[in-house]
Chain A
Amino acid sequence: AQSVTQLGSHVSVSEGALVLLRCNYSSSVPPYLFWYVQYPNQGLQLLLKYTTGATLVKGINGFEAEFKKSETSFHLTKPSAHMSDAAEYFCAVSPHNDMRFGAGTRLTVKP
């Protein structure tokens, strides 16, 4: 079965600091990998996705993620956090006709 593990349910960074949100997946086949963001009282919005090709994927709002097959990881990073980045972030894997989400990581950005 495919699954996603997000390490750290809550990450707190200072404004301007590096953001690193961790995601590991288990998959018997090469998966499609996604990061979604959920702002308070809103639906999920796609940040970026990996399907094939370049393993470093750039998304919206300055976020990027790197697919590392050997580590079965797809960590999300942003060089400099902004207050507006405070939200819930979900890693997801889509092995077949399904989407499995991680438990989410709440990002807090301190001034």
Chain B
Amino acid sequence: DTAVSQTPKYLVTQMGNDKSIKCEQNLGHDTMYWYKQDSKKFLKIMFSYNNKELIINETVPNRFSPKSPDKAHLNLHINSLELGDSAVYFCASSQEVLSTGNEQFFGPGTRLTVL
């Protein structure tokens, strides 16, 4: 069984479009995250939700909006896509917030290409 799943795996779209990436975890975890990995493999946290409540919101453009309909899902919606948004986006989850030393479980990633 897949622990953290993301759809789609690949997303190719034109500049200016709006797109969403979905994430689901079946681990019963309370906390979920979105990361962006650039072409140099640098990983940066974007958002974190704990029990559907936003707890981390790094300095990302407000074109990016996370939505957590329930504890098991954290979707990422991106408006007005730009070339610089091209990256691999990873969803992750952890049992509790990271201050307790919990590890994160990562999804397989969504490779977004903006043309």
| A and B co-occur in one complex | yes
Chain A interface residues (CB < 8 Å from chain B): 32, 34, 36, 38, 41-46, 49, 51-52, 88, 90, 94, 96-101, 103-104, 106
Q: How large is the interface on B (under 10, 10 to 19, 20 to 34, 35 or more residues)?
A: 20 to 34
- Evaluate contact between A99 and B98: CB separation under 8 angstroms: yes
- Cβ of B108 and Cβ of A98 under 8 Å apart? no
User: Are A98 and B4 in contact (CB-based, < 8 A)?
Assistant: no
The docked-state distance in angstroms from the alpha carbon of A43 to that of B99 is 22
> Is B103 a contact of A34 with CB atoms below 8 Å?
yes
**A98→B98 contact, CB < 8 A:** yes
Pair B97/A97 contact, Cβ less than 8 Å: yes
A51, B43: Cβ atoms under 8 Å?
no
Instruction: Tell whether, in the assembled complex, residue B101 and residue A104 are in contact, meaning their CB atoms are under 8 Å apart.
Output: no
| A32-B101, A49-B103 known; A42 vs B108 contact (CB < 8 Å) | yes
16 contacts between A and B (CB under 8 A): A42-B109, A43-B4, A43-B106, A43-B107, A43-B108, A44-B106, A45-B106, A46-B103, A46-B104, A88-B41, A97-B48, A97-B99, A100-B45, A101-B43, A103-B41, A104-B42
